[in-house]
Amino acid sequence: MELLSLLSAGEITSVEVTQGYLDQISAEDGAVGAFLHADVDLALSKAAEVDRRRQANEPLGRLAGLPVAVKDVLCDTQMPATCASRMLENFRPPYDSTVVAKLKEADAVLIGRTNMDEFAMGGSTENSAYQLTRNPWDLERAPGGSSGGAAACVAARMAPLSIGTDTGGSIRQPAGLCGVVGLKPTYGRVSRYGLVAFASSLDQVGPLALNVADAALLLETIAGHDPLDSTSLDEPLPAYSTLVERPLEGLRLGIVREHFAEGLNPEVEEAVRAAVAVYESLGATVKEISLPHSKYAVATYYVIAPSEASSNLARYDGIHYGHRTDISAMQAELATEQKAFLAAGDQIAVDNMDSPLVRMYRRTRAEGFGSEVKRRIMLGTYALSAGYYDAYYLKALKVRRLIRQDFDAAFEEVDLIAGPVTAEPAFKLGQMSGDPLAMYLVDLYTVSANLAGLPGISLPCGFTTSGLPIGLQLQAAPLAEETLIRGARMFEQATDWHQRRPEKKQS
Higher pLDDT, 434 or 298: 298
DSSP 355-392: PHHHHHHHHHHHHHS-HHHHHHHHHHHHHHSTTTTIII
**How would residue 507 be classed by pLDDT, with cut points 50, 70 and 90?**
low
Mean pLDDT, residues 339-359: 82
- Please state whether the peptide bond connecting residue 146 to the residue before it is cis, i.e. omega within 30 degrees of 0: yes
Predicted local confidence at residue 334, as pLDDT = 85
Residue 11: how many other CB atoms lie within 10 Å: 9
Least confident window among 134-143, 182-191, 440-449:
440-449
Identify the CA nearest to 303 among candidates 404, 221, 381.
381
DSSP characters over 485-498: HHHHHHHHHH--GG
Which residue out of 128, 146, 162, 294 is catalytically annotated?
A: 146
Task: For residue range 115-160, list pLDDT tens digits in order.
Answer: 999 999 999 999 999 999 999 999 999 999 999 999 999 999 999 9
Report pLDDT for 321: 86
**pLDDT single digits (tens) 224-270:** 999 999 999 999 999 999 999 999 999 999 999 999 988 899 999 99
Residue-range domain boundaries for the chain:
2-249+418-432+449-499
Verify whether residue 104 is a known catalytic residue: no
pLDDT at 433: 80
Evaluate whether 175 touches 471 at the Cβ level (below 8 Å). Answer: yes
Overall average pLDDT of the 194-212 stretch: 97
Residue-averaged pLDDT of the chain: 95
pLDDT of residue 505: 63
Determine the Cα–Cα distance for residues 491 and 283; give it in Å rounded to an integer. 12
3-state secondary structure 102-136: HHHHCCCEEEEEECCCHHHCCCCCCCCCCCCCCEC
Kindly name the residue from 71, 102, 104, 184 that is annotated as catalytic.
71
pLDDT level of residue 20 (50, 70, 90 thresholds):
very high
Read off the pLDDT band of 344 (50, 70, 90): confident
* Position 343, amino acid: A
387: Cβ contacts below 8 Å, ≥ 6 apart: none
The CATH classification number of 2-249+418-432+449-499 equals 3.90.1300.10
Question: Would you state the pLDDT for residue 374?
Answer: 97
Q: Is 328 labeled as catalytic in the residue annotation?
A: no
Task: Give the list of residues 6+ apart from residue 106 with CB closer than 8 angstroms, or none.
Answer: 61, 62, 63, 64, 221
pLDDT of 359 > 80? The answer is yes
Q: What is the mean pLDDT of residues 408-417?
A: 98
Residue 414 has pLDDT above 70, yes or no: yes
Q: Which of 461, 446, 106, 501 has the alpha carbon at shortest distance from 276?
A: 461
134 or 321, greater pLDDT: 134
Summarize pLDDT for 30-71 with one digit per residue, the tens: 999 999 999 999 999 999 999 999 999 999 999 999 999 999
Sorted by sequence, the CB contacts under 8 Å of residue 367 that are 6+ apart come out as: 86, 323, 325
Q: CA of 346: how far to CAs of 156, 196, 333, 351, 355, in Å? A: 62, 45, 17, 9, 17
What average pLDDT does range 4-25 have in this prediction? 95
CB 256 within 8 A of CB 417: yes
Longest dimension (CA), the chain: 85
Q: What is the pLDDT of residue 330?
A: 86
Q: Of residues 124, 170, 307, 458, which has the active-site annotation?
A: 170
Would you call 170 a catalytic residue per the annotation?
Answer: yes
Please give the Cα distance from 259 to 474 (Å, whole number): 13
- pLDDT of residue 98 exceeding 90, the answer is yes
Interhelix angle 297-312/395-410, rounded to 10 degrees, is: 130
User: Given a cut of 70, is residue 506 above it in pLDDT?
Assistant: no
Q: pLDDT > 70: what percent of the chain?
A: 99
387: pLDDT strictly greater than 90: no
Decide: residue 5, CB within 10 A, 0-12 exposed, 13-18 middle, 19+ buried: exposed
What is the C-alpha to C-alpha distance for residues 444 and 172, in angstroms, rounded to an integer?
12
- Please choose, from the candidates 108, 50, 52, 54, the residue with its C-alpha nearest in 3D space to the C-alpha of residue 76: 108
- The predicted structure's pLDDT at residue 335: 85
